[in-house]
Amino acid sequence: MSTRKTRGARHHRNHHHDDDFTPKPLHQQQQHHSSTPPTHHHHHQQPKLRFVKKSELDSSSASDSLLTSDPVAPPAFDNVTPPPHESHKEEENNNIGASDAVTVTREVDHMARESNSKEGDDDDADDYVVDRLHRLLDALEEPQLMEEHLSTNDQLQQDELLVVESIYGENVKNLESCKGLRCLQIQIHIEVLGEIAVVAKLNSSNEPDVASGNSDDFLYSFKVQYLPPIVLTCLLPKSYPSHQPPLFTVSVQWLESLDILSLCSQLDSIWAEQQGQEVIYQWVDWLQSSTLSHLGFDKEIILGRNGVNCVGDDRVVSGSISLDTAIPFLRGYNKERHNENFLKELHECSICYSEYPGTEFVRLPCQHFFCLKCLQTFTQMHVKEGTISSLQCPDSKCKVMIPPGLLKHLLGDEEYERWESMMLEKTLASMSDVAYCPRCETPCIEDEDQHAQCSKCFFSFCTLCRERRHVGIACMTLDMKLQILQDRQNSSQLKEDQKLREREKINEMLSIKEIHRDSKLCPSCSMAINRTEGCNKMKCSNCEAYFCYRCNKLIDPSDPYGHFRDGSCELFPQEMIENWQERINHRQVVGQLQAELFPQRGLPCPNCRQFNAKVGNNNHMFCWACQSHYCYLCNEIVRRGSKHYGPKGCKQHTEG
């Protein structure tokens, strides 16, 4: 499987020029070369090592030296409260994640388009590594070999490359030959069983501080399932494998130089054990399976434990400049690998229970995902019905709102405009000092005297009765307005069109009066609400406020049933409870009616002494009060009818 790569953030380090370089034996450390290449982080790309040539460092601008990170979800803290500045960063990252929300659709084509734009970056990274291999080759003293040995080595190298390419496939890349020597690069994906924790000990300045006992230290931890690959680049000298090992560099974007140096030493040990044999496959296999255990990362990966990022060995290429870049890089790579796997697999939509590939799904900020068709139908239905407060994650236990950016993708232009309009109306309705002009319905600001003036038509009105402003005069009630309009209908001075308009207003007032008669107004937004059945705990569909239908008072939304525990208001009306009991125990109601209609035919229950009437010729009685079974003839409790009735017992059916 091919792995996309992302450039790290360029970070300026102190580098010496090549003019000062003096070739030294391979086993000696090069003290004047930094092992940490400048790197880049590139947004929305899969992590990849990004190296910059020294010539670029001299001409780079100050702005390029800033550290950036991918817009991924912020790392989670394990039982630790982050300092204030970390909380601020976390809020910013959350805002980014919610606005982008997630649409997972059509991302495969996007990855294909990105591959062309990264070819130049790959060339820069390869040049940086090849430059290091050149220095290692200049320091190498190759023995003089006979033509026969050289031919044998060449054939062994060719066979080994074919084997490695057949095993690791697209993870192997052949670089341009260096002085006629073969050069290849292998991306090695570390094996992780399940998930592994990544832990960094930080102080208040966000720098690694492992040994310090400062009280400001805190642990920064998260879990990943996929780790960025180790990049092993090998240059095969002519004396390999008979006399010399391959020249190599080990590039790891998230490990410190000391840890990478330890890996290089282990590769040297593997060569020493089987000197004279092909060793590249053994190196790759060991790095893939034993890297974490060798570094002591069996249970958790500790970032920044050494605090040293320069070892002077040209074989070591570390991109771990600081925890500010390493942590987002690890989380971003893990997230993108999860997303890649999601797009390739089949998933079941929890709404329609149909299976689709991951490209047909939309993932919400809460990480729940649904097929595109169902989510479009869901959002369009709520916008059409006006229930925009229900535009939440369709999962029954999740209340995360669908972000506006995703709604714009799911809705059509007209539907989205309708959603925006309803959101504006809902926001204005929630403001206590906003009233609508009765003439043109323009929102107006209410003053201290419950008066307002429209900024559009300049009409001054009372916000209580929505009539013309009347200073010092009480508002007319609905009945008073209705009576005046009805009296005016009998006047002969009104024209027909005026009578028609007033008649329509009368009908509207009568409808409002009927609504108010059978309903109550929400104490928060004054929306008329009618309860047809159920408890007295009501939730307004307009402002989502909770209130008691009996006393019409607002109640605490965090504990809406607490209002009914003190006994001042009952949760269910008593008549409703009695009605339910009749429907639930229909047999009991029938038994009571029969006992009242036929008092002369029956016997009291031997268990509760409640009278039960005998109807028909069946002697098997059922008490409507205690639910007991007994015999009408002997008046004894019947446990099993097959044993009580029969030739040796009572007759089950008799007249009278």
- Higher-confidence residue: 505 or 46? 505
Say yes or no to pLDDT of 100 above 50: no
Q: How much is the pLDDT for 388?
A: 87
Say yes or no to pLDDT of 43 above 60: no
Confidence bin at 205 (pLDDT 50/70/90): low
Ranges of H-type helices in 140-256 = 147-168
Beta bridge partners of 174: 184
* pLDDT tens figures, 542-573: 778 899 988 888 988 888 888 888 777 888 88
Q: How much is the pLDDT for 273?
A: 92
* pLDDT tens figures, 428-461: 877 778 888 888 888 888 888 888 889 889 899 8
Say yes or no to pLDDT of 67 above 90: no
Distances from the Cα of 97 to the Cαs of 70, 94, 406, 454, 587, in angstroms? 11, 5, 12, 41, 59
Instruction: Give the mean pLDDT of 487-491.
Output: 76
Q: How much is the pLDDT for 87?
A: 39
Confidence bin at 84 (pLDDT 50/70/90): very low
Q: Is there a contact between 442 and 456 (Cβ–Cβ < 8 Å)?
A: yes
Instruction: Give the mean pLDDT of 497-521.
Output: 80
Q: How much is the pLDDT for 131?
A: 81
Half-sphere exposure in the Cβ direction for 81 (13 Å, CA) = 2
Instruction: Give the mean pLDDT of 352-370.
Output: 92
Which of 49-53, 76-80, 203-207 is modeled with the greatest confidence? Answer: 203-207
Beta bridge partners of 186: 172, 232
Instruction: Give the mean pLDDT of 302-326.
Output: 78
Q: Percent of the chain, pLDDT > 90?
A: 25
- Higher-confidence residue: 615 or 93? 615
* pLDDT tens figures, 167-197: 999 999 988 776 788 999 999 999 888 889 9
Say yes or no to pLDDT of 256 above 70: yes
Q: Which of 23-27, 349-353, 527-531 has the lowest mean pLDDT?
A: 23-27
- Residues 471/473/478/481 CA torsion (nearest 10 deg): -90
From the list 320, 299, 298, the residue with the least C-alpha distance to 310 is 320
Spell out the residues 6+ positions from residue 494 whose beta carbon is closer than 8 angstroms to its own: 488, 502
Instruction: Give the mean pLDDT of 410-424.
Output: 91
Predicted structure pTM score: 0.52
Q: Is there a contact between 610 and 601 (Cβ–Cβ < 8 Å)?
A: no
- Higher-confidence residue: 105 or 176? 176
Say yes or no to pLDDT of 163 above 90: yes
Instruction: Give the mean pLDDT of 81-92.
Output: 38
- CA 349: distance to chain centroid? 16
- Residues 163/169/175/180 CA torsion (nearest 10 deg): 20
Distances from the Cα of 478 to the Cαs of 349, 437, 466, 482, 518, in angstroms? 52, 18, 11, 6, 16
* pLDDT tens figures, 120-160: 555 566 677 878 888 888 888 888 888 888 999 999 999 99
